[in-house]
């Protein structure tokens, strides 16, 4: 409900206090709107500067004034509102001639009286007639002054459901007074500029390998040397700004597109020239890490963000090729060289420039040497034992008599085989038996 206190109506949600401050006839109404020269600022005002009434309402409703500038289109620089009482947060609304909201911003007056809300940075441009409104947003709502001395039929109440009522309609319902009035809302406008300057730049600055690549405006390539670049556009015209997602720098250096300064994330940006603007393409620098090793599956080569930590590694040890490898010969990682002196197979470094690390290896024959030693020792020991055993048992062999017999058998068996008088199968079987006998006797 709108609160209207002219007659202290108790039914109003938020009661208002009226103060008649002045006699309206003493004030000159500013109804005529001068046509501003291009760039000149004009304040549109329909009230006489003195309030006879003040209004408040519950959140969501608003009080609107229809403005009729002489300009074909107007850039709204500021809105002034007369806060009659209870300064508190509210919203300023701008609506087009079809009563559609085109802009809304919050404001908090700290005292009563005229309060200006600056919109100059927001590039609010409307065509023909438009409305400016105070929208009550909180319970703790401010009171808006109204001039009822010389009403102009331009003021409206807008209910929460979006329905519009004239000031006179609401006033007659609320106070039984059939009075029209002007909400004390004024707007400063200027003719919008016909063209604006758009600035394109890259930040931080980069050093491309080829300066004539990487930048396109409306499809035309420009040298990055020309940045920052300023170009003039008609208001409302649409343009494309584009950067290569990756721009090559010097050896091992590249620049990767991150986003535009307003947070837009695609490298191709379609923009509308609404006002002066600067578009900065943000890039980050990356450095190449080369991990060089002839073996050991080197890991970690690639591009890294400037200042980030890169980890690189090889697998160690690895077997040497061939028989030595079978015996346990190994290639063993020893240390890193070039841009790292780390000694671990896995190491990290801060990427403050392009880097190359090389894995240095050595060959480890320790295990084959041990194996060879063990073999030699075993052979030697076996020979010694054999010699001692043979030295100990010759008498037993001859004494038994049997081994020499089987030795003879063996000799004959060999002769039979040589002459081809015995099958290979029989030869093998008999030879096995004789040898076994000889062996048993020798044990
Ligand atoms: Ca007045």
Question: What is the pLDDT, as a whole number, of residue 157?
Answer: 96
> From the CA of 152, how far away is ligand 1's center (Å)?
12
**Concatenated DSSP letters of 360-403:** EEEEE-HHHHHHHHHHHHHHHHHHHHHHHHHHHSHHHHHHH-HH
> From the CA of 166, how far away is ligand 1's center (Å)?
18
> From the CA of 46, how far away is ligand 1's center (Å)?
10
Comparing C-alpha atoms, which of 25, 75, 299, 324 is closest to residue 191? 75
Are 104 and 91 within 8 A, CB to CB? yes
- Gap between the Cα atoms of 425 and 411, Å rounded: 17
List of the chain residues with pLDDT < 50: 1-38, 396-400
Comparing C-alpha atoms, which of 9, 18, 124 is closest to residue 73? 124
Question: What is the pLDDT, as a whole number, of residue 305?
Answer: 97
Sign, Cα dihedral of 266, 275, 76, 118: positive
Question: What is the pLDDT, as a whole number, of residue 381?
Answer: 87
> From the CA of 117, how far away is ligand 1's center (Å)?
22
Residue 442 gets the label, from left (phi > 0), alpha (psi -120 to 50) or beta, of alpha
Question: What is the pLDDT, as a whole number, of residue 185?
Answer: 98
- Output the CA–CA distances (angstroms, integers) from residue 366 to 332, 369, 376, in the order listed: 11, 5, 15
Question: What is the pLDDT, as a whole number, of residue 12?
Answer: 36
170: tokens are: 């609401």
Question: What is the pLDDT, as a whole number, of residue 170?
Answer: 93
Question: What is the pLDDT, as a whole number, of residue 393?
Answer: 57
Question: What is the pLDDT, as a whole number, of residue 213?
Answer: 74
Question: What is the pLDDT, as a whole number, of residue 239?
Answer: 94
> From the CA of 116, how far away is ligand 1's center (Å)?
20
Count H helices and E strands in the chain, helices first.
6, 30
Question: What is the pLDDT, as a whole number, of residue 8?
Answer: 30
Residues 10-23 as b/e (b if ≥16 CB within 10 A, e otherwise) read: eebebebebeeeee
| Residues with CB in 5 Å of ion ligand 1 | 24, 48, 50, 147, 149
- Gap between the Cα atoms of 377 and 32, Å rounded: 121
Are 214 and 226 within 8 A, CB to CB? no
308: tokens are: 């980030």
Query: Model's pTM, two decimal places?
Result: 0.48
- Gap between the Cα atoms of 134 and 378, Å rounded: 106
344: tokens are: 């671990």
> From the CA of 10, how far away is ligand 1's center (Å)?
25
Question: What is the pLDDT, as a whole number, of residue 285?
Answer: 96
Q: Judge if the upstream peptide bond of residue 228 is cis by omega within 30 degrees of 0.
A: yes
Question: What is the pLDDT, as a whole number, of residue 373?
Answer: 80
> From the CA of 9, how far away is ligand 1's center (Å)?
21
């Amino acid at each position: 409900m709108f609160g209207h206190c002219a007659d202290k109506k108790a039914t109003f949600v938020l009661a208002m206090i009226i103060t008649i401050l002045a006699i309206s006839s003493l004030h000159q109404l500013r109804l005529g709107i001068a046509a501003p020269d291009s760039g000149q600022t004009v304040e549109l005002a329909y009230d006489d500067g003195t309030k006879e009434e003040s209004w408040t309402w519950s959140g969501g409703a608003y009080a609107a004034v229809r403005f009729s500038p002489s300009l074909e289109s107007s850039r709204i620089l500021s809105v002034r509102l007369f806060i009659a009482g209870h300064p508190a947060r509210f919203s300023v609304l701008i609506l087009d001639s079809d009563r559609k909201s085109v802009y809304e911003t919050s404001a908090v007056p700290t005292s009563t009286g005229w309060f200006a809300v600056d919109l100059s940075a927001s590039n609010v441009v409307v065509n023909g007639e438009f409305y400016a409104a105070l929208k009550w947003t909180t319970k703790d709502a401010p009171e808006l002054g109204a001039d009822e001395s010389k009403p102009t039929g331009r003021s409206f109440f807008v209910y929460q459901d979006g329905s519009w009522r004239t000031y006179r309609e609401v006033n007659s319902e609320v106070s039984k007074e059939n009075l029209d009035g002007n909400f004390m809302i004024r707007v400063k406008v200027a003719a919008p500029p016909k063209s604006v300057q758009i600035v394109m730049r890259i930040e931080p600055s980069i050093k491309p390998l080829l300066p004539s690549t990487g930048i396109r405006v409306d499809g035309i390539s420009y040298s990055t040397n020309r940045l920052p670049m300023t170009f003039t556009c008609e208001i409302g015209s649409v343009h494309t700004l584009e950067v290569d997602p990756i721009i090559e720098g010097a050896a091992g250096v590249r620049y990767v597109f991150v986003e535009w300064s307003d947070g837009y994330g695609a490298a191709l940006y379609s923009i509308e020239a609404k006002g002066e603007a600067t578009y900065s393409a943000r890039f980050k620098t990356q450095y190449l890490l080369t991990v060089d090793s002839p073996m050991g599956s080197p890991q970690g080569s690639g591009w890294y963000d400037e200042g980030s930590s890169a980890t690189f590694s090889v697998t160690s040890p690895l077997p040497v090729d061939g028989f030595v490898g079978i015996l346990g010969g190994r290639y063993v990682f020893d240390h890193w060289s070039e841009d790292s002196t780390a000694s671990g197979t896995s190491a990290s470094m801060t990427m403050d420039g392009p880097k190359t690390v090389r894995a240095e290896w050595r060959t480890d024959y320790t295990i084959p040497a041990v194996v060879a030693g063990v073999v030699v020792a075993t052979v030697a020991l076996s020979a010694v034992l054999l010699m001692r055993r043979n030295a100990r048992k010759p008498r037993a062999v001859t004494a038994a008599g049997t081994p020499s017999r089987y030795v003879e058998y063996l000799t004959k068996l060999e002769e039979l085989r040589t002459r081809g008088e015995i099958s290979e199968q029989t030869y093998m079987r008999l030879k096995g038996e004789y040898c076994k006998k000889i062996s048993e006797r020798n044990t």
